[in-house]
Structure 1
Amino acid sequence: MMMFLHYLKYFMFHGVGLIALAALVAGGPWISLGLAAVLVFYIVGDGLLGDDTTTPTFKHPTILTVQLWMALPLLALIVFAAVWSFSPDDVLSFGARITELTGYDALSARDATFWGHHVSAVVLTGLMIGIIGTITGHELTHRTWDPVSLLVGRWLLAFSFDTVFSIEHVYGHHRYVSTTEDPATAPRGRNVYFHILASTLKGNVSAWKIEKRRLSRKGQSLWSWHNAVIRGHLMSLLLVAFAFAMGGWQAALFFVACGLWGKALLEIVNYMEHYGMVRNPETPVQPRHSWNTNKRISSWTMFNLTRHSHHHAQGEVPYQDLKPFPEAPMMISGYLTTIVVAMIPPLWHKLMTPKVLDWDRRFASDEERQLAAQANARSGIAALNIDRS
């Protein structure tokens, strides 16, 4: 029975997705209530339910892989419902079918939806693109030996215009994490909003260079179908075309807003996973080079992305086998809570500066302490430059 519950807990993320789907279909204030419910579930749940440090052995990993693949149809349905909620037409008679099946007049509710609830729809849909799309796509695109997982993962990332993540993250970020050469690692003192832009631009440039080297080794043309960067962007453009077909430019722009918010969430997560870390790129990546958290709700619904210290020490390990590393440097709280804090820069720096200084004292090697001192001097944060000798 206990082992069954361990399998079941990772299906919790499907439940979160279904709540979002129901809210988008119900329309009106239900959209904003659905968004509030998801935020409360994560923030309060992580705050009250503590940590999960269990490390069960799963004898049927195929179940967990298929569960990851299920994210693609679920996300596609959520995004369809979101775009439908903002379209002038009843695409595929979706609203009529909902009314026929449930007796709830979804079309009338949609047509009466206040503009503020449409803003909530963008936030909620982007959040689902981040949780169901990016997090699952991250796990699947690490499975470079499995073509099905790679394909599903890249389609999930296409919803946030970020299929290049499958290139830069796996072959760039994991090599250069916590160094000045890594676009996704935020230096000390950086503002999260600047990081979203800087990491996005530099990450795309890095992915292009990585793909260029790969194609050169294989003797294939850069400007061809062999280029995974080009193919990936075309995948995202196809999704925009589908949104346009559903409701014209307003529906297409609505989808683009959702996707860009989903992409921004990824960069916020990058920001908080490695903020202020330093490392010589010639030295091995250790668990100390990532901020970790074992909060129960975040861990169960985000496929142990929370166990980031082990993930970066051994990037090929499937999510269900990641260890909690409770002795690793710890984030402020669970993922949604830490995202909210990161989006308030004065609060972020107030809470993270002591953590960064503690990392320097307790986790850094002698060489890293020298790198940390240089990073502190460049940070512009006075509290990082107080002489503690």
Structure 2
Amino acid sequence: MFHYLKFFLFHGIGLLAALFLTLGGDWMTVGFLSIFLGYVMLDALLGDDITIPDYKAPGILTWQLWMALPLLSFIVFTFLWQVGNGDPLGYGALVQQLSGYDMAVARDTTSGWNLFWGVIMTGLMIGMVGTITGHELTHRTWDPVSMFVGRWLLAFSFDSNFAIEHVYGHHRYVSTTEDPATAPRGRSVYSHVLISTVRGNISAWNIEQERLKKKRQGLFSIHNVAIRGYLMSALILVASYLIAGWAGVLMFTAAGLWGKALLEIVNYMEHYGMVRNPATPVQPRHSWNTNKRFSSWSMFNLTRHSHHHAQGEVPYHELKPYSDAPMMINGYLTTIAVALIPPLWHKLMTPKVLEWDEKYATAEERKMAEAANRKSGLKSLQGVTYSEASTA
């Protein structure tokens, strides 16, 4: 039973964020810092989870994923309530009736600083509750319910096209120069967010165009999944306007774009610096992995990324920890924080990249790594070469 319950930690964190957003004011600032620091400390203290439970009732695990859509909708609603002026859906009155807490008074004390952290926390939840779950669900291309829920979750970060590019593009070209989501050595996370976003959308559009061409369906039609994805995000913007006016549209857009940026930051740290010949099979060694217990339990095993890329069709509860795979710096939020500080990132990751070359790369990949080192712009990499003996 415990192994089913542990994944409800994900929902608990989402509800905690909704509570902080409901309280408003300084609680939005305190809320983000508590969640972020809690992740960092618990990943550091709780160690790794390398268990491989046998789940007899996988349907429960699917329902846990589907629950993310109403949860994320509620989280975003609580934030938009704080942005607007009225009492949408009578939520403030209900909270006061049940608890005695006056949300309207608390909203009057909310500063621009509080709203900034409200955007950051809401975007974090869009990235975690939305993108992580949407990622898992849109891999289940055989299940229309999971695809429906997953694409709507991704629409909160203006990224329903992720369901196209990630499944049919990224998983094919991961750790190669043809993959928008794989960051080459030396690239900063900030440029990667922009480059990967643009290239990823172009790739998704091209993949969808090719699919429609094969089915002899019109590009600019209801059959175009990419266009439908844009419209889904537009509907969420309309809902934001109805809840909190133009301020709601602006604030949700900021939170959604931050959620999208988080996805690209995660892409950055999951495959940074790795190389692969696209003609060769994807192996567990072509992704950075982590088995930190708290990240694993609260992110539906997204942490077991090495197995996920080796077998993308395997559901999250069957992923193996692969303790011998190349490992990230730490858990996910810790690694995100390090990635946002490029000098620190390169200082910590350059030894890991060189270790990957030595320990995991094939002879062909070492030659590719040499070329990547020369192009990196990093002095710590540019002088590194591999002799014929080491690549034999």
Amino acid at match of 1:304: N
Contact 2:175 2:286 in 1 (8 A): yes
List structure 1 runs of 4+ shifted beyond 6 angstroms.
none
Contact 2:4 2:61 in 1 (8 A): yes
Cα offset for 1:386?
2.6
SS of alignment partner, residue 340 of structure 1:
helix
Correspondent of 1:304 among 301, 305, 308: 301
Percent of pairs with identical residues: 65
Cα offset for 1:117?
0.7
Counterpart residue number, 1:355: 352
Correspondent of 1:45 among 42, 50, 54: 42
Contact 1:72 1:152 in 2 (8 A): yes
1:260-291 Cα offsets, whole Å, 9 max, x none, are 00000000000000000000000000000000
Correspondent of 2:229 among 225, 229, 232: 232
Counterpart residue number, 2:281: 284
1:309-350 Cα offsets, whole Å, 9 max, x none, are 000000000000000000000000000000000000000000
CA distance in 2, matches of 1:238, 1:51: 41
CA distance in 2, matches of 1:271, 1:164: 18
Aligned residues: 386
Counterpart residue number, 1:159: 156
Residues 387 and 317 (structure 1), Cα distance of their counterparts in 2 relative to 1, 3 Å cut? closer
Give the alignment's Cα RMSD to 1 decimal. 0.7
**Gapped regions of structure 2 (runs ≥ 5):** 388-392
CA distance in 2, matches of 1:385, 1:260: 34
Contact 1:96 1:107 in 2 (8 A): no
CA distance in 2, matches of 1:151, 1:288: 32
CA distance in 2, matches of 1:148, 1:41: 33
Q: Bigger CA drift: 136-145 or 239-248? A: 239-248
Cα offset for 1:387?
4.0
Cα offset for 1:246?
1.4
Amino acid at match of 2:10: F
CA distance in 1, matches of 2:130, 2:278: 30
**Gapped regions of structure 1 (runs ≥ 5):** none
Residues 169-318 of structure 1: pairs in structure 2 closer than 5 A: 169-318=166-315
Counterpart residue number, 1:60: 57
TM-score of the superposition, structure 1-length normalised? 0.98
Q: Tell whether 2:330 aligns with 1:333.
A: yes
CA distance in 2, matches of 1:114, 1:261: 20
TM-score of the superposition, structure 2-length normalised? 0.98
Residues 101-120 of structure 1: pairs in structure 2 closer than 5 A: 101-120=98-117
CA distance in 1, matches of 2:103, 2:49: 39
Counterpart residue number, 1:342: 339
Counterpart residue number, 1:147: 144
Cα offset for 1:97?
1.3
Amino acid at match of 1:81: T
CA distance in 2, matches of 1:168, 1:111: 43
Correspondent of 2:6 among 5, 9, 12: 9
1:117-173 Cα offsets, whole Å, 9 max, x none, are 111100000000000000000000000000000000000000000000000000000
Contact 2:21 2:79 in 1 (8 A): yes
CA distance in 2, matches of 1:387, 1:158: 43
Cα offset for 1:385?
2.2
CA distance in 2, matches of 1:111, 1:322: 47
